[in-house]
């Protein structure tokens, strides 16, 4: 029988330096409850570097007692477990109540850099927001989130982090019985656009103000000095989202479910479900098995972020101004800036990927020209940009990159304009190539390699492919001897054409 969740009095669990703030908000923001105990929690993965950053003791987390905490069977001293309430638009359809249906926020810690971080158990059992679900997670999706979120962190892209994975000793039932897992997820917060929507739908202006003040204090403290902190908050969130989506697209990432309840107001990537990275470049690429219409395709992500921000703006109207007309005018002015802000961020990112240095007029067209050539030539996204990092400005030895295009003529037509732009920039080839290699990864979590590692772990209890893949992705910008297979796109029989959310 599973041990009942209990406060641990042995002293080890008190090593979590909790300093909770969200739990101080009114009770309508959440439901307080403990995780549901599991049969036999066993630590499978531990991110020791992240543990130390959080001020946690890796040795304790690796102990049997630590596994009990990470599995939800013991509640560490100072924790105040709760499931957060929120709403959201899912694939454009309004759902007035969602919330943490399979996750419990244990509490918050202030890390060694002075940053407040949530510690959440994902897959920790049913909550009042589970909507008839079991509140559990299968091991495969838990491992996928661990791999991809940590790869995103290695790319330097704002993201939630993964501290640990435990197996539960219990099966979860989806299409078939699968081993269960729990992810310990770390985030600057778990507050979403959907959190604001939850209270806006209930016309609870007091709660909206409390939530907005909490977000400002936690994520945007400088806005306290703004003439209108709430319009400034909308503007700041829009700015971070423009930068985030541009960063995603610069590594070929497709989130898969950009619902408003999956959009963090902190500007971090959150909720890795049917996410994937492109192999062959095409802006219409979709992997999610449930995205039948391509709503969240690679190229649609900026527009969806814009739409989600408009939903946030609608929530903030009562705070921006008592006059609905004035509030609408102020919010619309901010929202209308998003396309240009995204485009500027996208151009900066891709200009750096092309080694252009500072952005000049015409660079956006040069970038678009390459992407169009890649689309027509069915070129691999990651290999193309990495290959360009190795080319000289003299127009010689282009064969490795040309060979990535089914029709190299498209690349041949584009390359002279790129080299002319490099000549204008006047950068030394060696310095430029080094700068390009520092932003164009050699390795990404390619879908076929992720699936192979997950299948080995889940089906055969073989963790070696998982550990090998994780090790390569820890330094994705450095070519690693003997790891060439992780650079390669899938052979036709290896292609993964659909990914799943794992709920």
**Positions marked active-site:** 261
Pairing of strands 93-95, 88-90: antiparallel
Query: What DSSP line would sit under 25-49, residue for residue?
Result: S-GGGEEE-PPPP-S--EEEEE-HH
DSSP state of 3: P
- Confirm if 317 and 324 have CB atoms less than 8 A apart: yes
The C-alpha atoms of residue 277 and residue 382 are separated, in whole angstroms, by 9
With tokens 């503007």, the residue in question is 235
Q: Counting Cβ atoms within 10 Å, is residue 442 exposed (0-12), middle (13-18) or buried (19+)?
A: buried
How far from the centroid of its chain's Cα atoms is residue 167's Cα? 23
For residue 265, the surrounding DSSP H or E stretch is none
- Confirm if 91 and 304 have CB atoms less than 8 A apart: no
- Confirm if 56 and 16 have CB atoms less than 8 A apart: yes
Tallying the residues shown for the chain, one arrives at 503
- Confirm if 219 and 266 have CB atoms less than 8 A apart: yes
The C-alpha atoms of residue 71 and residue 5 are separated, in whole angstroms, by 10
């Amino acid at each position: 029988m599973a041990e009942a969740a209990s406060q641990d009095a042995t002293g080890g669990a008190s090593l979590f330096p909790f300093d909770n703030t969200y739990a101080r908000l009114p009770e309508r923001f959440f439901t307080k409850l403990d995780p549901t105990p599991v049969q036999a929690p066993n630590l499978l993965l531990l991110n020791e570097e992240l543990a130390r950053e959080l001020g946690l003791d890796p040795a304790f987390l690796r102990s049997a007692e630590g596994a009990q905490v990470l599995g939800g069977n013991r509640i560490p001293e100072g924790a105040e477990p709760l499931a957060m309430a929120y709403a959201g638009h899912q694939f454009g359809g309004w759902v007035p109540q969602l919330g943490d249906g399979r996750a419990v926020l244990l509490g918050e810690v202030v890390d060694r850099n002075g940053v407040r971080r949530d510690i959440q158990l994902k897959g920790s059992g049913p909550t009042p927001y589970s909507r008839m679900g079991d509140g559990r997670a299968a091991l495969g999706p838990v491992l996928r989130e661990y791999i991809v979120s940590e790869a995103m962190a290695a790319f330097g892209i704002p993201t939630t982090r993964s501290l640990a994975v435990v197996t539960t000793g219990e099966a979860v039932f989806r299409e078939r019985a699968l081993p269960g897992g729990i992810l310990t997820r770390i985030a600057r917060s778990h507050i979403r656009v959907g959190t604001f929507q939850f209270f806006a739908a209930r016309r609870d202006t007091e709660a909206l103000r409390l939530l907005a003040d909490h977000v400002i204090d936690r994520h945007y403290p400088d806005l306290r000095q703004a003439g209108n902190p709430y319009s400034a908050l909308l503007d700041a969130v829009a700015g971070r989202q423009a930068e985030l989506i541009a960063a995603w697209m610069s590594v070929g990432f497709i989130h898969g479910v950009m619902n408003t309840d999956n959009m963090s107001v902190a500007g971090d990537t959150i909720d890795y479900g049917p996410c994937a990275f492109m192999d062959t470049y095409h802006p219409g690429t979709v992997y999610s098995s449930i995205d039948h219409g391509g709503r969240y395709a690679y190229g649609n992500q900026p527009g969806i972020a814009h739409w989600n921000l408009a939903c946030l703006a609608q929530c903030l109207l009562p705070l921006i101004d008592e006059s609905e007309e004035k509030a609408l005018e102020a919010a619309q002015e901010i929202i209308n800036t998003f396309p240009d802000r995204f485009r500027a961020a996208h151009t900066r990112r891709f200009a750096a990927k092309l080694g252009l240095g500072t952005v000049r007029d015409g660079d956006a067209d040069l970038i678009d020209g390459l992407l169009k050539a890649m689309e027509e030539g069915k070129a691999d996204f990651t290999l193309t940009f990495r290959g360009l990092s190795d080319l000289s400005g003299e127009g010689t030895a282009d064969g490795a990159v040309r060979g990535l295009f089914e029709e190299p003529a498209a690349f041949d037509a584009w390359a002279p304009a790129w080299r002319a732009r490099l000549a204008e920039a006047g950068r030394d080839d060696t310095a430029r190539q080094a700068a390009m290699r520092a932003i164009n990864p050699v390795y990404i979590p390619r879908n076929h390699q992720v699936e192979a590692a997950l299948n080995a772990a889940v089906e055969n209890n073989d963790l070696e492919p998982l550990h090998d893949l994780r090790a390569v992705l820890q330094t994705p910008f450095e070519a690693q001897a003997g790891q060439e297979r992780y650079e390669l796109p899938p052979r036709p029989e290896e292609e993964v054409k659909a990914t799943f959310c794992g709920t």
